[in-house]
Amino acid sequence: MKAGLVVVVNGASSSGKTSLARALQLVAPDPWLHAGIDRFWGMMPQGWMQLGARAGEGVSWRRGEDELGRPVVHTVPGPVADRLAGGIHRAVAALARAGSNVVSDDVFFDRAWAGDWAAALDGIDAWLVGLHCSDDELERRERGRGDREPGEARAEAAAIHEGMPYDLELDSSSLSSDALAVAVLDHVAGARPWALEVLRGDTGAGGDGAG
């Protein structure tokens, strides 16, 4: 069976990753599954999330300030989140190896997660997309959502793209979700993926889990 294609979108909270993935499903001529981080993190028990008693093992928040004294919130994954990340990457790879196209939106809270994606998707045509957004627009969206901590998206955006190779980089500050989706599909149709191969060279292929 011919493997499906995979697009992994790395972007901060409120950058429009989920909207891009859903738009891609609507405009693509072939079916694409959406397997995003929020779907999988929703499986985690609340006690291991953010303010839960055992969040340090799962996903915790660390509050601080940026260089301008503005509040920021850093998301810190623990060993439970690292294991889940490794499972997500292999679940997406399994779907692709079974013949499905998959778009997965993610936030690379740990650089090791990017290397683990590369290992899990070895042998599959998979593109890594960096989704950027201006700080002002991130904060506007963050306020509008009402379920995010102030400064969370800005902290993520400052960290997750640093030194990351991408097959394609896009900015959602001024482009619609449909336009972003079309740009991704056009790129997939016209260019061979290379970014995850670079990461495999950086980290060594064949890993069996994140963290």
Name all domains of the chain by residue range, CATH numbers in brackets.
6-44+90-203 (3.40.50.300)
Copy the structure tokens of residue 151.
Answer: 């400064």
Express as a percent the part of the chain with pLDDT over 70: 89
pLDDT single digits (tens) 47-104? 898 777 888 888 877 777 676 666 777 788 899 999 999 999 999 999 999 999 999 9
Instruction: Give the bridge partners for 171, in sequence order.
Output: 132
Q: Find, among 150, 100, 155, the residue nearest to 126 by Cα.
A: 100
Q: Find, among 16, 44, 62, 70, the residue nearest to 184 by Cα.
A: 16
Express as a percent the part of the chain with pLDDT over 90: 62
Query: Taking residues 145-160, what's their average pLDDT?
Result: 71
Phi, psi of 207 (to 5 degrees): -65, 160
pTM, entire model:
0.88
Number of neighbouring beta carbons within 10 Å of residue 208:
9
